[in-house]
Structure 1
């Protein structure tokens, strides 16, 4: 195999790194590439291997056989060398079981080939930093939370790190000299510079504020809601009908109970990011569970607020 070097001196590298390199070379070869590792192990270079001609089977299940790459060869991607960074992949692999390594390696090489030639190198924080943004998604809509970089806003919403229009992969963020939490704060700072538009609307007679952005990061602006409108001490009710829109209602009186109903019905009708109502208070986004149920031929809203919000409502009603 092309990646074996007989003249190497005895290696002092960790056994895990050696095993990962062997797997990288195996997968690269199964996909029709020769590869050469940098001396420091931080990268490898994929070079197009001679076309073997007919399709060959893939007995190890590690990727498509060389014949399956003919279409890629025709569009020119296989005509040049591709440098694949490995620092982040090694960090991610170190946190996963060896059973996960074939999948990690296969995805990493596939992605490296797919983005080869892109002017932006996401593994370079100096390049990627200005393009970092955040996006809020429902947890149930994220197929695998281990394959994204983000943080939970609550049990059902997660704030994800993006670059351009796509999610940042853990092995890309693993190349950066800062922790993922710091990268998320950098992304949030970028989002803050993108101002939202604000307008007052009514939902069945209940006045609410609608904040709209040009990008899918509008929910991140809850952190700086006071930049757009007065925020009372008891916080605001909020719904996220889609990634570009945020509806809020100030909690200043018992009218918040009716506002929960109006916001919940509106969110359910839009069928967007989340159908639930949230309470934004002291930097936290908490779910106000509100279920729409059919009882005796009538539609009712059954609300189960968190204890802290229930106490706020009791005080406002007194």
Structure 2
């Protein structure tokens, strides 16, 4: 009679399966491995030394992803941990990186996989990414933190505001006056939240062009001359071939695309504007 029956594992089957993948990938990278008793980390060992890799964020991210994504997720996580082993800062430690959190605005089309970055949309075409220094934070890194993603982004936004002020100057685009606001970091659009600190903002908001992540071109929506301003900003943004070739409307804390296409027909070039309904109503009122 066997009096020493083995207790079944109380760990979720998902964690056990993820550990099996971690073990396979670790071995493929040439490491032996040892998991922490609570599964929060794995220590990779080789002749060159050992490396502790935190797994809390990885497990959370795996819980949000389909199982067929797990091999790629695990492989990227361990490869990234090995590649950044010499960095002084542990991005999984919020206390270490809190003061380094920043934002960077990118075109959605320029990001190969939005599931591999942490951020939020400014609109359908632009996304505000969470970064530590110059590089985007990975979901499995922010998943280690004791705060939700939205709060982490708010910390980054506060850092941007506290550590940088935009440079402001007035310029003309083919006779149309605009304000150019320039940042030293690729987070100029983050400063739209505090635009009133730089120039008067009318009740109907402002037009915004984002020729690159460091620059905002702004024109007030305060008269029918705004139609000419849309044309000037759109043509300028298209020439720069930067962050966004379109013009946007900043109003009520939201950045809304004003679709404007440059159309050439019979040798003539013209701008075809398709404003969103709310902005169309503003134009109709201003035209009276």
TM-score band w.r.t. shorter chain? over 0.9
Q: Find the residue that maps to 2:224 and give its secondary structure.
A: coil
User: Distance between the aligned counterparts of 1:163 and 1:299, measured in 2?
Assistant: 44
Matches within 5 A, 1:86-125: 86-125=55-94
Residue 117 of structure 1 deviates from its aligned partner by 2.0
Instruction: Tell me the residue number matched to 1:140.
Output: 109
Residue 97 of structure 1 deviates from its aligned partner by 1.1
Q: Find the residue that maps to 1:16 and give its secondary structure.
A: helix
Q: Find the residue that maps to 1:36 and give its secondary structure.
A: strand
Q: Find the residue that maps to 1:198 and give its secondary structure.
A: strand
Q: Find the residue that maps to 1:299 and give its secondary structure.
A: strand
Alpha carbon RMSD of aligned pairs, Å? 0.9
User: Distance between the aligned counterparts of 1:82 and 1:290, measured in 2?
Assistant: 52
User: Distance between the aligned counterparts of 1:28 and 1:179, measured in 2?
Assistant: 29
Instruction: Tell me the residue number matched to 1:3.
Output: none
User: Distance between the aligned counterparts of 2:207 and 2:86, measured in 1?
Assistant: 45
Taking structure 1 as the reference length, the TM-score comes to 0.87
Residue 9 of structure 1 deviates from its aligned partner by 5.7
1:303 lines up with 2:273 in the alignment: yes
Instruction: Tell me the residue number matched to 2:188.
Output: 218
1:269 lines up with 2:267 in the alignment: no
Q: Find the residue that maps to 1:293 and give its secondary structure.
A: strand
Q: Find the residue that maps to 1:123 and give its secondary structure.
A: coil
Instruction: Tell me the residue number matched to 1:253.
Output: 223
User: Distance between the aligned counterparts of 2:258 and 2:89, measured in 1?
Assistant: 41
> Which of residues 127, 130, 142 in structure 2 aligns to 1:173?
142
1:37 lines up with 2:35 in the alignment: yes
User: Distance between the aligned counterparts of 2:278 and 2:191, measured in 1?
Assistant: 23
User: Distance between the aligned counterparts of 1:11 and 1:85, measured in 2?
Assistant: 21
For 1:153-189, what per-residue CA distance to the aligned partner results, in whole angstroms no more than 9, with x for missing partners? Answer: 1111111111100000000000000100110111000
Q: How many residues align?
A: 282
Instruction: Tell me the residue number matched to 2:18.
Output: 20
Q: Please, which runs of 5 or more residues in structure 1 have no aligned partner?
A: 1-7, 50-78
For 1:97-135, what per-residue CA distance to the aligned partner results, in whole angstroms no more than 9, with x for missing partners? Answer: 111100000000000001102111110011111111111
